A and B are shown apart, each in its own frame.
Chain A
Amino acid sequence: MSFTSLEFAVFFALFFVLYWFVFQRSLKKQNLLILVSSYIFYGWWDWRFLVLIFISSLADFLIGKAMTHTTEKQVRKRLLFLSLGVNFGILGFFKYFGFFLENFKLLLPFLVPDEGFSTLDIILPVGISFYTLQTLSYTFDVYKNKIEATNNFVNFFAYVSFFPQLVAGPIERASNLLPQFAKAREFNYERATDGLRQVTWGLFKKMVVADNIGPPVTETLANYTAHDSSTLLLYLLLGTIEFYCDFSAYSDIAIGSARLLGFDLMKNFDYPFFSRNISELWQKWHISLISWFKDYVIIWLKGFSKPKLVRNIFIIFVITGLWHGAAWTYIVWGLLNALCFLPLIFGQRTKFRKPVAAGRLLPSAKEFFMMARTFFIFCLIGIFFRSASVADGFNFWYKLATPTLFTEPAWPSSLCLFTFVLFGVEWVQREQEHGLDLSKRNLPVALRWTIYFSLVAIILLFGGQANEFIYFQF
């Protein structure tokens, strides 16, 4: 069930009524409702996927409990590895089996038969990479004594399958989300209206921007050999904007919906296109994933000397690439991102603690140049995300650098003009929580309602053909 479907609108409306009007007095019932609804939400794609999420949740629930019954370090460590084995076993089989088999076959062809395994048609369960990391974060947190293992089966299963963020994040930490299931939740008007505004902004980004840009971008970039460099460049930039709108929209809708239910999820995107270098960009893009790797992977790789920092960055980005998909293109994409950090590590690195041009309407020329450069580099690397092969990605770069770069490109449909609205609004709002966060702006009521109605009208009238969220495939 996609967030942009009518089914979800009806599902959420029914859920909202039951949650706040029927079960509001019982936390247990509210949590049970969340669990049942989340399983319905997930099973809507394919009920068989439910078996996997159930096994994953059960394994970590039992392992977490077992950890509390022992103080022996060795036993706890073994339990942690058991959890890693179960979760990565499931993830590895469904996501990476084909990839590793294919590469193994290339290296040692005599060991892999042509028939049999290699023809297995494995379906990738929606969102498996997201909930696997979420359930693992629980085991890690229990192992490190950051939280106590829960005895509440319903709360834990609801935490793993919580439908607003189940399929495409933000990937929550057990230490942040799980305790929220144990606390009584009361309806809060301010938080609910803010949640609704964030949902609306997410719908605008997905339905109006991403869904209108998506089809022409996919078509053009898939046939890149036939186009002028100027056209390729234009569609490369649009493609990156589509990715951002698609993915960050999901996070906006997830965070907004959760807030309507009294939950606080972590921020996943923080206006990444307004970054002055690649390091700042990665602190603002898919925050929950990168911080997960920092918290649970880098922590094992001790050391902060420059060479060790380089090693850690390469490890994080190779894993990030591989997490996105079982293909060399994703690994190259990760490596290229890591490479961009080298000048920052060995050169002069400025740490940006405030948003660009904080307190000013316009950036300085230098800031503008830095943002444009970062965006462009990110777009160039991003082509590997879409390429069919690594060679295709490099060929695309080669195709970009021809004299036709200075000719007029083939312009896309006028609906792509909403991209300017997106950039305009996000620039103005870059110091706020989300694009429609008006809580700190003292706007007249009439103006606020004009903004709401205009956005709703634009979404209804100009929403493109509903495409699946890109990140569902990861």
Chain B
Amino acid sequence: MQKFLLKILFVLVPSLLFLAVLEWNTRRLDNSALAVRSAYFFQHYRQLEGLCFGSSLVAQSVNPAWLDYPTASLALSGSSLNVDYLLFKRANTLVTPRFVLFDLTVHLLNQYHSDAWIKMRKLPYYYGIKPEKRELKDYFLSGTPLYRSLRLSASNEKINEYGFSEDRSKQFKKLEYDHEQIVQDKRIQKFLGNAEPFNAAINQINEDLLKEIITICRAQGTKVILYSPPKYYIGNDAAETLPDFARRATFLREVVDDENVFFWNLERMGERDPRNFANINHVSLQGAKMATEELNRRLKQLFD
């Protein structure tokens, strides 16, 4: 037994040491856009007038630095409305903003993330959101696969203080912003085909959550902006064939009053110019500038 335990320790001790150093290093060097966004929010929430929620589509298309209203982005890659709802509830305990912006891109009402997803994205760590069931791994910042933690560097110059990142997919760039190549690209075809099957129950859950958010915002005088950022036109055309599209239109007819609740649809804005896009549905920096300026113009119309 002694020999066995010694050999176990021979493997276990260096492994645990390695993991401890990795975790310490991850916490020290955490340079993710999510970390910057959460830090910005907690440092500035007293001055904030606007909050943005949504997926990477919002994170990459809205740069709070280009807006005339102090705004924080709480968007995160792959987010869904039920996650945005949790983030909104958390943020709303600290700040009552003049406006909140939610991503309402076509597929968003059809997405729902589990507790496991919320924990995997470390939202309990970054925003203090309580998971339904806490596990031991939730106490650590390093997430799987761990090799990514080895790639961290002290600073990330591509991310500004608001957590807006200049880092983009290089898909359209690699295809030389050429329409023919874009249409024929296998990965793009695969992406267009990977729409999640329509799920009425999930749509209903998300609609109810959004309605609850709207009720809270109405009561506290916060304007709700439902927003859909620009996408390349083949993505827009494909989205219009989905049942999600009609469902969203019905929902919007029910909630938008253009007084407290708005739908700012920029989907078709600049959709024919590939240079506005990094890939089929994410804007390039040029596209982000275009979208944020339009948002700023509309916000000015609303508040000034």
Q: How far is the CB of B279 from chain A (nearest CB, A)?
A: 14
Taken together as a complex, chains A and B put the C-alpha atoms of A408 and B185 apart, in Å, by: 11
* Minimum distance in angstroms from A280 CB to a CB of chain B: 35
Query: Which chain B residues in 157-187 approach chain A with CB under 8 Å?
Result: 186-187
User: Which of A152-160, A224-232, A343-351, A436-444 participates in binding chain B?
Assistant: A224-232
Q: Is the interface of B mostly helix, strand, loop or mixed?
A: helix
Question: Interface size on B (CB < 8 Å)?
Answer: 29
Cα distance A78–B1 when bound, in Å?
Answer: 49
Q: B residues engaging A (CB < 8 A)?
A: 1, 3-4, 7-8, 11, 15, 18-19, 120, 135-137, 143-147, 150, 186-187, 189-190, 192-197
Contact of B135 among A5, A408, A462, A464 (CB under 8 A): A5
Q: Which residue of B1, B144, B187 is within 8 Å of A410 (Cβ)?
A: B187
Contact status B145-A464, CB under 8 Å: yes
CA distance A223 to B190 in the complex (A): 9
Contact with B along A430-474 (1 / 0, CB 8 A): 000000000000000000000011001000111111100000000
CB of A183 to closest CB in B, whole Å: 19
A246: shortest Cβ distance to chain B, in Å?
16
- CB contacts under 8 Å to B, within A118-138, are none
Of B3, B4, B136, which contacts A5 at CB under 8 A? B136
* Contact A10/B136 with A223-B195, A461-B146 known, Cβ cut-off 8 Å: yes
Which residue in chain A gives the minimum CB-CB distance to B238? A226
In the complex, whether A6 has a CB less than 8 A from a CB of chain B is yes
* A-B contact list, 13 entries, CB within 8 Å: A7-B136, A193-B7, A223-B195, A226-B193, A226-B194, A228-B189, A409-B186, A410-B189, A456-B11, A462-B146, A462-B147, A463-B144, A463-B145
User: How many Å from the CB of B182 to the closest CB on chain A?
Assistant: 15
Query: Is A187 close to B, CB under 8 A?
Result: yes
Q: Is A297 an interface residue (CB 8 A)?
A: no
A226→B187 CA distance, assembly (Å): 11
Chain A contributes a number of interface residues (CB within 8 A of B) equal to: 35
Is B186 touching A410 in the complex (CB atoms < 8 A)?
A: yes
Taken together as a complex, chains A and B put the C-alpha atoms of A66 and B276 apart, in Å, by 78
- Nearest CB of B to A443, in Å: 15
Nearest opposing residue in chain A for B14, CB measure: A453
Residues of A within 8 A of B1 (CB): 20, 187, 189
Q: B55: shortest Cβ distance to chain A, in Å?
A: 16
The A contact surface, by secondary structure, is helix
Contact A465 B144 (CB under 8 A): yes
Distance, CA A464 to CA B120, complexed state (A): 11
Pick from B8, B18, B186: contact of A460, CB below 8 A. B18
Residues from chain A with Cβ under 8 Å of B143 in the complex = 465
> How far apart are A473's CB and chain B's nearest CB, in angstroms?
15
B145 touches A223 (CB 8 A): no
Does A342 lie at the interface of the complex (its beta carbon under 8 Å from any beta carbon of B)?
no
Which residue of chain B has its CB nearest to the CB of A10?
A: B136
Residues of B within 8 A of A456 (CB): 11, 15
| Least CB distance, B218 to chain A, in whole angstroms | 34
Of all chain B residues, the one with the shortest Cβ separation from A260 is B4
Task: Say yes or no: is A220 at the interface (Cβ < 8 Å to chain B).
Answer: yes
* Shortest Cβ distance from B195 into A: residue: A223
**Interface contact A223-B193, CB-CB below 8 Å:** yes
Q: Which residues of B contact A460 (CB under 8 A)?
A: 15, 18-19, 146
With known contacts A5-B135, A193-B4, A465-B144, A223–B194 Cβ distance under 8 A = yes
B189 touches A226 (CB 8 A): yes
Docked-complex contact A192 and B190, CB < 8 angstroms = no
Which residues does chain A contribute within 8 Å of B197, judged by CB atoms? 222
In the assembly, what is the distance between CA of A10 and CA of B1, in Å? 19
B3 / chain A contacts, CB cutoff of 8 Å: 189
How far is B289's CA from A239's CA once the two chains are assembled, in angstroms?
A: 42
